[in-house]
Amino acid sequence: MSPAELKKRAGPKVVRVDSKLQFQDMGSSSSSSSSEERSLSDFAKTMTMKTVAHRVAKGETLVIYENKVYNITLFLQYHPGGELVVKHMAGCDATDEINGLHPRWVIDEKMPRYFIANLVPDDSTSTSSEAEAAEEEVLLVKQRTRTAYRKLEQKIKDAGLFETNHWYYFAHLVQYTTFITISVLGVIYGTQWWHFAISAVFMGAFWQQSAFTAHDAGHNGITHVREIDEKIGIFLGNFCGGLSIGWWKKSHYVHHIVTNHPEHDPDIQQLPFFALSKRFLTNVYSSYYNKTLVFDDVAKAVIPFQHLYYYVILGFGRFLLYFLGWSFVLTEPGYKKRNAEITGFVFYFIWLSTLVSMLPSWKMRVMWVLISHISTVFLHIQINLSHYSMSMEDLGKDEPFPAKMLRTTMDVDCPWWMDWFHGGLQFQAIHHLFPRVPRHNLRSCVPFVREFAEEAGIEYKSYKFVEANGQVWQVMREIGEQVSLLAKVAHAEASGHHFH
């Protein structure tokens, strides 16, 4: 099809404004852009993407929301989700990301004070070649995806699925309070080793289930009042679980923006123990850790066996989280909740140590600590399951937000009566699309998301728990085999032999 025919079929004229599209009437001349700028200048300054990019390159943090430019450079240090989350969206259209992660009052009341200009198309808007026409068609497809996603969001709002049922959280409070009560009573009144083993399992279940609620609090998804949800998160995370809610929020919000990006997502940066993509077989610079993740001799030695020790490492994952939490709280510059979190850590280790000391022997104490901590392995499996076998490609900043979320995230297909066990992590794809939808409504979103995915031509992936674990295991095994092969080739070349 010729460019002229494509123009005729396309209808409105499309011009690139980074990851957004601007539409102009096909009957307009180039002066239509000027007249649009004049009308906009009646109430605000205008700015093109070239200007935005230039100012971002000079160090300013400009983001675009609904074709408006906001300068949030001075707000960076106060952003509740951390600076890095915003920096990843600098110079980009962040409309869907902002809508997904913020309540409406933030957009209506906070953002206007940082507004500096309306976004208008760059001067060059002609489509004079087949290549440009093809690119224009790609932009149209991406815009249709964004439009369909926003319609999906409205459908979910109209269905009342953004509303929180607080009785749900009360029921879960009763549930995990029962778990810790059984655990404590088992330690106090137990007489046999298996009494203590059961007690330890219930403590692990308490930590798992309370972590789900801490996750929701971290997303301000319980009371929707940040200060209150923050206190809930610190109580459940630090005081009850010995884990840092601040560390989790800092990494988790970044994960939501740059999901499965090897250079940016800390959740998949697991060297030297795990390499989840071929990209990690060379040195990767981590923007999160601000250092190069080196594929060193240790990684080369152990990665070939990563599929064999994966679950073993996860079994001891809680001990690593203790270390990461303490490291964050003690070293994070300017962290405002440092004292509250340290108080929580101290309280946690006092009550846990007191409980463990009530066991009759050192042998029982070691057994109880190991069983209680290792039994949280299911939580670590659930956290990783939705991402570790999914795409880790970088498709550019103009990839539509919903397309990226469904490309990098899968759901876990389970019966409704197992929802309590998975705590919402079985619907991670939907959670990534709509982080503010409370987890008790995620299952109700599934039909809407399936319909959207079919309309947009995007694959919505959902697998059984065992099958999903098999996919993760297979990815790890394949990466390990590649490392082994590379080692054999390097050894053969060093020996002066040809490798076959």
Confidence of residue 250 (pLDDT cuts 50, 70, 90): very high
What is the bridge-based pairing of β-strands 68-71 and 20-24? Answer: unpaired
Residues 360 and 420 grouped into a single domain: yes
Boundary residue ending a domain (417, 432, 456): 456
Residues 116 and 171 grouped into a single domain: no
Q: Is residue 196 part of a domain?
A: yes
Q: Is residue 145 part of a domain?
A: no
In this model, does residue 19 exceed pLDDT 50? no
Residues 85 and 175 grouped into a single domain: no
Least confident interval from 7-16, 322-331, 361-370, 470-479 = 7-16
Query: pLDDT tens-digit profile of 403-416?
Result: 999 999 999 999 99
Q: Is residue 103 part of a domain?
A: yes
Task: Calculate what percentage of the chain has a pLDDT beyond 90.
Answer: 80
Cα torsion 333, 70, 107, 394: sign: negative
Name which of 239, 257, 223, 305 is nearest 100 in CA terms: 257
- CB neighbours of 19 closer than 8 A, spacing ≥ 6? 92, 93, 142, 397, 398, 399, 400
Coil, helix or strand at residue 80: coil
Domain at 32, CATH number: 3.10.120.10
Residues 90 and 209 grouped into a single domain: no
| pLDDT (0 to 100) of residue 387 | 97
More confident residue, 265 or 138: 265
Measured distance CA(345)–CA(325) in Å, rounded = 9
Q: Is residue 139 part of a domain?
A: no
Amino acid at position 420, single letter = W
Q: For the chain, how many structural domains are there in total?
A: 2
Mean of pLDDT over the chain: 89
Name which of 190, 250, 183 is nearest 210 in CA terms: 183
Q: What is the DSSP letter of 78?
A: G
Q: Is residue 292 part of a domain?
A: yes
Boundary residue ending a domain (86, 104, 120): 120
Q: How far is CA 206 from CA 188, 217, 280, 376, in A?
A: 17, 16, 35, 9
Residues 426 and 286 grouped into a single domain: yes
More confident residue, 192 or 30: 192
Name which of 32, 31, 15 is nearest 67 in CA terms: 15
| pLDDT (0 to 100) of residue 433 | 97
Q: Is residue 100 part of a domain?
A: yes
Residues 66 and 175 grouped into a single domain: no
Residues 409 and 323 grouped into a single domain: yes
Q: How far apart are the first and last CA of the chain?
A: 47
Domain, as residue range, for 216: 166-456
Q: Is residue 479 part of a domain?
A: no
Task: Please give the average per-residue pLDDT across 365-385, as a whole number.
Answer: 97
Residues 170 and 103 grouped into a single domain: no
| pLDDT (0 to 100) of residue 306 | 97
- CB neighbours of 324 closer than 8 A, spacing ≥ 6? 244, 247
Measured distance CA(31)–CA(215) in Å, rounded = 52
Query: pLDDT tens-digit profile of 127-139?
Result: 557 767 777 777 8
| pLDDT (0 to 100) of residue 140 | 86
Cis peptide before 121 (omega within 30 of 0): no
Q: What is the DSSP letter of 327?
A: H
Query: pLDDT tens-digit profile of 442-463?
Result: 999 999 999 999 999 999 999 9
Q: Is residue 140 part of a domain?
A: no
Measured distance CA(487)–CA(273) in Å, rounded = 17
- Give the H/E segment covering residue 4: helix 3-10
Residues 108 and 239 grouped into a single domain: no
Residues 113 and 186 grouped into a single domain: no
Residues 242 and 363 grouped into a single domain: yes
CB 177 within 8 A of CB 347: no
Helix residue spans in 17-102 (DSSP H): 31-41, 49-57, 83-87, 95-101
Residues 181 and 49 grouped into a single domain: no
In this model, does residue 175 exceed pLDDT 50? yes
More confident residue, 134 or 423: 423
Confidence of residue 121 (pLDDT cuts 50, 70, 90): confident
Distance of CA 308 to the CA centre of its chain: 26
